[in-house]
Amino acid sequence: MIANAAKSTFQKTVFTLFLVFFVAAVSAQSADLPAGKEGVEWKRVLEAAKKEGKLVISGDPSEEWRKALVDLFQQEYPEIKMEYTGMAGRNFWQRVRQERKLGQKLWDLGAGGTQTAYAGKNEGFLEPIRPLLLPENADGSKWIGGMDGLFVDKEHKFIPAYTLYVQHTTFVNRDFIKETELKSSRQLTDPRFKGKMVLQTPTGGATFSSLGNLAFMYGEDFVRDLLTKQDVVVTDDNRQQMEWLVRGKYPIAVGINNTLLPPYQKQGLGKNITGLEDKIIPVAVGLGGVQLLKDAPHPNAARVYLNWLLSQKTQARLGKIVFLNSRRIDVPPVDKETAVDPARLSNYRLYATEENMEIANRLLPMIRETVRK
């Protein structure tokens, strides 16, 4: 009888623990769902997304961004398989443009920088994202600059940019050039630094944004002199640019992909790479943008992904992988040195907005001309 009693007690304990874990799991799942009609609608979207079972997205080719944008999502939604193609934004939109001419609508989402996405928006390739957000993500109090700050396009509904951080126009490896020699980006046209600079392809991406800021601070002639008189080296490979900066082959780099530096620093390399002082405080979104393609083949899966991406939980995890600060106020910055103060937004210049990109685009004819030479 003692044995039977012990067995009965054990079974009750196991059953109780099962109920506790089951209730906790259901509660956790329910906590992610909106209440009332929105909850019913969201459940329908989730079920439809799982039936679609696929998501086609383009993003940065780096391993860090692939982990952040693909692996994290697959952990939570294994039923939705991701087809991820890594490519630069300018190449992605050229491809979309060619495919649409042929009547092909193959992509759900584009992830990455905002510059080339504006052209896609103006050509009618994008669907508004703002109306698709759950209340938790559509709460302006959760985002630096509110919802109109989160959406960097003129209409404030197509292109959310969920990262935000201070981004110097120029970086220097102090193992090779001391601060007493070079302190400010204003000195870049000094003949002493001729042949010591590397740029990414300056007609797009991080370098183009940096050149736009340099022109805003010091004038178009400053940028012209930089490109024509300083024997700058241009590469289309952002990893090669970082490698040359870290190794000191070219100890000055204009416009870099910040995500690529931490892996070197973990190996003890590039620890003395710092940003030069700028006349203004430039802030960037880098590759932290996302766009929804019009007539996407998997619209429900895309909606699930967008809300997953912009959630507090995902933003906290993603930031630690790519080492970029989230625009969400409820996510602590992963890099305090580049954190943006929400109370001092008027002191910054965000060159990723569509209006500021239009100003920078006026430089393109001059940049193309000087690069050809």
Distance CA 363, CA 340 (A): 27
Distance CA 281, CA 266 (A): 27
Q: What is the phi/psi pair of residue 267, to 5°?
A: -90, 5
As a whole number of Å, the CA-based R_g of the chain is: 24
pLDDT in tens, 85-129: 999 888 899 999 999 999 999 999 999 988 889 999 999 999 999
Both tokens of residue 151? 């959406």
Mean predicted lDDT score pLDDT of the chain: 89
pLDDT tens-place string over residues 12-63: 544 444 444 443 443 334 335 676 667 899 999 999 999 999 999 999 999 9
Query: Could you tell me the two tokens for 169?
Result: 């126009």
- Which pLDDT value is given to residue 25? 40
Sign for the pseudo-dihedral over CA of 214, 219, 220, 225: negative
* Weakest mean pLDDT among 31-45, 67-81, 358-372: 31-45
Q: What sign has the CA pseudo-torsion 21, 27, 28, 29?
A: positive
Q: What are phi and psi of 10, to 5 degrees?
A: -60, -45
- Of 354, 184, 214, 331, the C-alpha closest to 285 is 354
Structural domains in the chain, sorted by start: 38-163+286-340 (3.40.190.10), 169-277+359-372 (3.40.190.10)
pLDDT of residue 369: 87
Dmax (CA) of the chain: 96
Q: Cα–Cα distance between 325 and 333 in angstroms, integer?
A: 5
pLDDT top residue among 213 and 22: 213
Mean local confidence (pLDDT), 294-307: 98
Stronger pLDDT, 148 or 369, i.e. the higher one = 148
Starting at the earlier edge strand, list the strands of the sheet with 109-112: 81-86, 54-59, 109-112, 289-293, 126-127
CA distance 358 to 191: 31
Residue 72: predicted pLDDT: 97
Residue 340 backbone dihedrals phi, psi, to 5 degrees = -95, 135
% residues pLDDT > 90 (the chain): 71
CA of 294: how far to CAs of 108, 250, 297, 298, 351, in Å? 8, 42, 9, 11, 26
Q: Give burial (CB, 10 Å; 0-12/13-18/19+) of 190.
A: exposed
CA pair distance 353, 197, nearest whole angstrom = 27
